[in-house]
């Protein structure tokens, strides 16, 4: 699905030198590489603060701790996502409130949010799934109207850009009073029309898991915010709730990016834009070769967001049940990996069934779980490889007589 080895070979000198430097100065934790990375990523994203942490799941948990979300608070999230988003909500004693997704962009269906907002609702966690932004205009409108925090799960969409259509002043008029000493939904309204994913809401979170668009060589994650006080608090929580060593003002966690991972990320960040371009090129080839096939639905581009193609996810259009799984197996036999992100919707997972006490249906998500198929996409794809994959995929589909 990805080719991290070829990618490494091209930047070997920078990566090796960075890692060697960490070993030479032996500051494996809190080395100078971390601050450099945080500053460079902040510049790339045009956000005031980047705080590195141990992984993307921690980043979500720390975001919720920093916003003082308390047991019983209801947190809105899409039902079609990676489990981490829901897991941290449940771990903190918060209540995940699941919302169905859009059939074509796979992101949370913003038309279905308002009916689920209650007096206990405190936050919305949009997930910018597969590499493009959720409808953030609508998310921010709802957040301002109902005084909710927004935590953007940007683990799959680092670098994507969203065009806000709502003007700052309009949003200010619609918004109500602040709900926290640290941050009010109105205090950091988007000042720019064009903003990076993860910098629009109160906090953005991301992951540097090796296969993510900006991946390190182990685990890593980060949080972004434009709020000074919130940034301070996040930094404290990441470091055992302390601002001064051995003085603990908050309950925190131990969650840090290590210096070797920061060195790898420092070597890779300058290439992130070209990685995004390479992924888009591959996606365009796929679009061209698969777009006209009657049994394939190619991924829809949200016109308001750029796409960084963490995944290129098609849907198999067929009345036959389980056909997607057969296609996946056939492709595997031909030596072509494909993946199903995600095979089971959150509300169908044993761990989360209890949170769907009303036994609601999420038909779009359930359907996607049966039809989606993610094809290989990464920074080293050539047109030849894409052609080979498409030729085989079309053959396999023709043979299975949909």
Ligand X SMILES: *Cc1c(COP(=O)(O)O)cnc(C)c1O
* DSSP codes joined into one string, 176-236: ----SSS--TTTT---SSEEETTSSSSEEEEE--TTSSS--SS--EEEEES-HHHHHHHHH
Is residue 82 a contact point for ligand X (CB under 6 A)?
yes
Q: Any alpha helices (H) in 334-401, and if so which ranges?
A: 363-371, 383-399
What count of other Cβ atoms lies within 10 Å of the Cβ of residue 280?
16
Q: Measured from the CB atom, is 212 or 324 closer to ligand X?
A: 212
Count of beta carbons in the 10 Å neighbourhood of residue 185: 24
Q: In what order do the strands lie in the sheet with 296-297?
A: 296-297, 312-316, 372-375
Which single residue brings its beta carbon nearest to ligand X? Answer: 56
Q: Which stretch binds ligand X (CB under 6 A): 50-58, 94-102, 173-181, 358-366?
A: 50-58
Alpha helices in 26-95 (DSSP H): 32-45, 56-66, 83-91
265 three-state secondary structure: helix
> What separation, in Å, do the N-terminal and C-terminal C-alpha atoms of the chain show?
25
Q: How far is the CB of 79 from ligand X (least distance, A)?
A: 13
User: If binding is defined by CB under 6 A, does position 85 make contact with ligand X?
Assistant: yes
Residues 221-240 that bind ligand X (CB under 6 A): 221
Only one of the segments 82-90, 179-187, 268-276, 296-304 lies at the binding site for ligand X (rule: CB under 6 A); that segment is 82-90
127, 223, 234, 396: which one binds ligand X (CB under 6 A): 127
How would you label 74-89 residue by residue, b for 16+ Cβ within 10 Å and e otherwise? bbbbbbbbbebbbbbb
Question: Considering the rule CB under 6 A, would residue 55 count as an interface residue with ligand X?
Answer: yes
Selected from 81, 135, 161, 183, the binder of ligand X by CB under 6 A is 81
Closest approach of Cβ 223 to ligand X, in Å? 12
Q: What does the alpha-carbon distance between residue 177 and residue 365 come to, in Å, rounded to a whole number? A: 35
Does residue 198 touch ligand X according to CB under 6 A?
Answer: no
84 binds ligand X per the rule CB under 6 A = yes
Number of H helices and number of E strands within the chain? 13, 14
Sole window of 14-22, 149-157, 172-180, 386-394 interacting with ligand X (rule: CB under 6 A): 149-157
Measured from the CB atom, is 57 or 180 closer to ligand X? 57
CA 67 to mean position of chain CA atoms: 19
The verdict on 202 binding ligand X (CB under 6 A) reads no
Among 33, 57, 134, 225, binds ligand X (CB under 6 A): 57
Which residue number, 252 or 318, has a Cβ lying nearer to ligand X? 252
Closest CB to ligand X among 65 and 397?
65
Interacting positions 322-351 with ligand X (CB under 6 A): none
List b or e across 374-391, with b for residues whose CB sees 16 or more CB atoms inside 10 angstroms: bbbbbbbbeeebbeebbe
Which 235-264 residues touch ligand X, going by CB under 6 A? Answer: none
Distance, CA of 380 to CA of 223 (rounded, Å)? 28
Q: Is 132 in the site for ligand X (CB under 6 A)?
A: no
Sole residue written with tokens 């750029």: 306
Pick the closer one to ligand X by CB: 209 or 388: 209
Rank residues 212 and 235 by Cβ distance to ligand X and give the closer one.
212
Binding site for ligand X (CB under 6 A): 55-57, 81-82, 84-85, 127, 153, 155-156, 207, 209, 219, 221
């Amino acid at each position: 699905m990805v080719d991290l080895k070829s990618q490494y070979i091209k930047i070997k000198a920078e990566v090796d030198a960075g890692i060697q430097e960490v070993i030479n100065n032996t500051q494996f934790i809190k080395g100078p590489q971390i601050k450099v990375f945080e500053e460079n990523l902040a510049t790339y994203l045009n956000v005031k603060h980047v705080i590195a942490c141990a992984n993307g799941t921690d980043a979500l948990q720390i975001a919720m701790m920093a916003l003082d979300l308390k047991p019983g608070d209801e947190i809105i999230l899409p039902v079609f996502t990676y489990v981490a988003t829901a897991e941290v909500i449940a771990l903190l004693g918060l209540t995940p409130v699941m919302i169905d997704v859009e059939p074509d962009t796979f992101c949370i269906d913003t038309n279905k949010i308002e009916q689920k907002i209650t007096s206990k609702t405190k936050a919305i966690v949009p997930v910018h799934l597969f590499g493009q932004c959720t409808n953030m205009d609508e998310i921010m409108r709802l957040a301002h109207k109902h005084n909710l925090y927004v935590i953007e799960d940007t683990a799959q969409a680092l670098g994507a850009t969203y065009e806000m259509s709502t003007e700052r002043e309009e949003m200010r008029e619609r918004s109500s009073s602040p709900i926290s000493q640290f941050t009010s939904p109105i205090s950091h309204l988007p000042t720019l029309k064009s903003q990076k994913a993860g910098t629009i809401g109160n906090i953005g979170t991301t992951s540097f898991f090796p296969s993510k668009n900006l991946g390190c060589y182990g685990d890593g994650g980060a949080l972004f915010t434009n709020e000074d006080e919130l940034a301070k608090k996040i930094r404290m929580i990441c470091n055992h709730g302390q601002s001064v060593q051995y003085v603990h003002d908050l309950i925190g966690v131990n969650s840090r990016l290590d210096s070797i991972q920061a060195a790898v990320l420092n070597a890779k960040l300058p290439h992130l834009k070209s990685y995004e371009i390479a992924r888009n090129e591959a996606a365009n080839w796929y679009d061209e070769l698969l777009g006209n096939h009657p049994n394939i639905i190619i991924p829809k581009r949200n016109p308001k967001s750029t796409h960084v193609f963490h995944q290129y996810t098609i849907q198999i259009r067929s009345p036959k049940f389980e056909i997607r799984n057969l296609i996946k197996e056939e492709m595997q036999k031909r030596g072509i990996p494909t993946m199903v992100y995600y095979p089971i919707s959150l509300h169908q997972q044993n761990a989360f069934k209890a949170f769907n006490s009303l036994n609601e249906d999420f038909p779009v998500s359930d359907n996607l779980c049966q039809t989606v198929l993610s094809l290989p996409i990464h920074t080293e794809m050539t047109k030849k490889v894409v052609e080979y994959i498409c030729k085989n995929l079309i053959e396999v589909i023709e043979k299975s007589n949909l």
